[in-house]
Structure 1
Amino acid sequence: MSEGLRRGSPADPGRAGGVLVLLGLAVLVVASFATLDLQWARFFSADALARMGRFLLELLRPATEPRFVAKLVPATLETLAMSLVGTLLAAVLGLLLALPASRTWEGDPARWRGATRFVLNVLRSVPELMWASLLMIAAGLGPFAGTLALAAHTTGVLGRLFAEAIENAPEGPAFALRVRGVGEGRVLLFATLPTVLPQLLSYTLYRWENNIRAAAVLGVVGAGGLGQMLAFHLGLFQMSETSSVLLAMMLLVLGVDALSFEARRRMAA
C-alpha cells in the first residue's frame, strides 16, 4: 500500500486522535448543559420579559443634568487614564520579562526561561479584581490601586505574547549579525525587535482596548472612575444616572477602538 493511502487510512493515529478530541469536547458540552440549571422557560416567560422591558425603558432616559455631567466627565477621564497608564507600565514590564522568557536562537541556553514564564503565568492567572483587592490593602481606595492591578495582570498577558513573538521572529537578520560576531544585545536591538515591533504594538493596543473595560469594572471595588459611579448609582436603582455612566463607557470604548484600528491600519500600510 502506498504512503498516501496509508496516510489517509482510518487507522491513521493522527486522525484517530483528532476524532477522540472532538468526541471528548462533545461529551464536555453535553455534560455542561446537563449540570447547569438552565431555566429557559422562566427566562422567556411573559413576566420576565415584561420586567426586562421596563428596566430597559428606564435605561433609555440618561441623566443630562449639568451637575451630574460635571461628575461624569472627570470619572471618564480617570478611567481612560487608568487604562492607559496601566497598559504602558505593562508593556514596559512585559517586554523586560519577555526577553529572558524567550529562546531567541537555536543554541540559546535561555537559563531563565522557565522561571520567567512561571512568573508571567502567575501574573496573568490572577484576575484584575483580585489584584485590585490585594493592592488596595497597601495603596488604599482609588485609581492608583486600580492602575497597578491592570498593570500586574496585563504584564503577564503581554509578557507571554511578546515572548512568543520574539521566539517566532524571522531568524535571517539576527543570524546575519551573529555570524559577523555582533553581540546579542545589538542583535536584539537591530534585528529581532525591529521585525516584531509592529506585532508588539498591535498586542499592546488590543490590550489597551480590553483594559478600558477592565478599568470600568475595577471601579466597582473602589478603584475609582466610571466603575465606581456605576456601582453607586446601580446600587441605588438610579437608572437615569446608570444609563449615563453606561453611555460614557460605550463612547470611551468606541473611541479607543477607533484609535487603535487607525493605528493598526497605518502600521500595516
Structure 2
Amino acid sequence: MSMPQAPRARLSTIALLVAMAALVVASFATLPLQWRAFFTLDAVRTTGEFLLGFAPPELAQPFLKKTALAAAETLSMSALGTGIAALLGLTIALPASGRFGQAARAGTRLLLNILRSIPELVWASILLIAAGLGPFAGTLALAAHTTGVLGRLFADSLENCSPQPESALRINGVRPSAAFLYATLPQAVPQMVSYTLYRWENNIRAAAILGVVGAGGLGQMLKYHLSLFQMQQAATVIVAMLLLVAVVDAASFSLRRWMTR
C-alpha cells in the first residue's frame, strides 16, 4: 500500500515566504541596531540605577485608594468602549459582509479601514479637542478604533458562514431577517464573542496608554508621576496596570472556556 504524497507547495506560497524572509533580512540590514552599546557595562549600570529608583512602591493608604479609583476608571473605559464598538461593529458588518450588495460592501469596508487605520492615540488627541480632558474622550477613542477592527472581523465571520441553512429557511417561506437571525447569525456568534473578548483585553492596555494624552485612568497617573520623577508612585501605578491586565485576561479566558463547553 503506497503512502499518500504530501501536497506540493504552490509557487505563490513559496514566493510569499521568500519575500517575507527578504524583508526581515533587509530590516536588520537597514536599521542602525547598536547591540554592542546596549550590552555595555555602562548601559547595564545606568539601567540598574534607573530600575532601583522604582523600589519600593508607594503603599500609603490614600495613594492606593487613588490608584484603585484610576484602575476602575481604566476598566470602565475599556469595557464601555468595547461594548459600543461591538454594537456598532455588528451593525456595520451586515452591509460589509455583502448582504446588501457590492456597492454597500465596498463603502462600509472603506469606512472600517479608515476607523481601524487611525490609532487610538490619534483618535484620543482629536476627540480631546471636542470632548475635553478625561475618560469620555478616551472611551470614544477606543470605541472608534475598535469599531473598525471588530466590524471587519464580524463581516469576515458572516461571510464565512455556510449559506445553506439560511437558504433552506428562505425557500420554505421564512422572512430574510428571521432566516438570518435563526440560521446565519448563530454560526458566527461564538467567534464574534471571542473576538470581542480579545479586543477587550487589548483595550485594557490601550486605555492605560490613552491616559498619557490626558484621557484619564492609570495612564494619566503614570504620566504625571513619571514627569515629576516620582518613581515609587509610578511603580505602584505600573503594578496596578499589570494586575488589571492579569485579572481581565483570566476573566476572558474563563468566559471563552465556558462558551466552548
Which string of whole-angstrom CA distances, capped at 9 and with x for unpartnered residues, describes residues 15-47 of structure 1?
433333233222222221121111101100001
Task: Please point out which of 248, 255, 258 is paired with 2:240.
Answer: 248
CA distance in 2, matches of 1:169, 1:18: 26
Q: 1:35 aligns with which of 14, 17, 30?
A: 30
Q: Partners of 2:92 and 2:10 in 1: how far apart?
A: 38
For 1:68, the equivalent position in structure 2 comes to 63
Instruction: Give the structure 2 partner of residue 182 of structure 1.
Output: 174
- Is 1:230 the counterpart of 2:222 in the alignment? yes
Distance 1:123 1:165, change over 3 A: same
Aligned with 1:100: secondary structure?
Answer: helix
- Structure 2 counterpart of 1:30, which letter? V
Q: Map of 1:34-183 to 2, 5 A cutoff? A: 34-104=29-99, 109-183=101-175
Deviations 1:75-94 (A, max 9, x none): 00000000000000000000
Q: Secondary structure at the match of 1:76?
A: helix
**Ranges in structure 2 where 5+ consecutive residues have no aligned partner:** none
Deviation of residue 141 (structure 1)?
A: 0.7
CA distance in 1, matches of 2:16, 2:257: 38
| Matching residue of 2:231 | 239
Once the two structures are TM-superposed, the CA of residue 110 in structure 1 deviates from its matched residue by: 4.2
Q: Aligned with 2:98: secondary structure? A: coil
CA distance in 2, matches of 1:20, 1:196: 33
Q: Closer, same or farther in 2 for the Cα pair 1:20/1:194, shift >3 Å?
A: closer
Aligned length in residues: 257
1:60–1:243 contact (8 Å) kept in structure 2: yes
Gaps of 5+ in 1: 9-13
Give the secondary structure class of the aligned counterpart of 2:156.
helix
Q: Normalising to structure 2: TM-score of the pair?
A: 0.94
8 Å Cα contact 1:102-1:110 kept in structure 2: no
Measure the CA separation in 1 of the matches of 2:108 and 2:13.
32
Map Cα deviations across residues 34-85 of structure 1 (whole Å, 9 max, x no partner). Answer: 2111110110000111111222223241100112112111100000000000
Spell out, residue by residue over 1:105-140, the C-alpha distance to the aligned partner (whole angstroms, 9 max, x if none): xxx734410000000000000000000011111101
Query: Structure 2: how far apart are the matches of 1:54 and 1:229?
Result: 23
Match of 2:254 in 1: 262
Label 1:24 to 1:267 Cα distance change in 2 as closer, same or farther (>3 A): same
Alpha-carbon contact 2:109-2:152 (below 8 Å) kept: yes
Letter in 2 for 1:212: I
Identify the range of structure 1 (95-104 vs 159-168) with the bigger mean alpha-carbon deviation: 95-104
Amino acid in the other structure paired with 2:144: A
Deviating beyond 6 angstroms after TM superposition, the runs of 4 or more aligned structure 1 residues are none
- Matched residues in 1 for 2:104 and 2:49: separation? 57
AA matched with 1:184: P
Cα displacement (A) at 1:177: 0.7
Which residue among 212, 216, 225 is the counterpart of 2:208?
A: 216
Contact between 2:98 and 2:104, CA under 8 Å: does it hold in 1? no
The one-letter code of the counterpart of 1:101 is A
1:219 and 1:229 in contact (8 A); partners too:
yes
1:90 touches 1:151 (CA, 8 Å); kept in 2?
A: yes
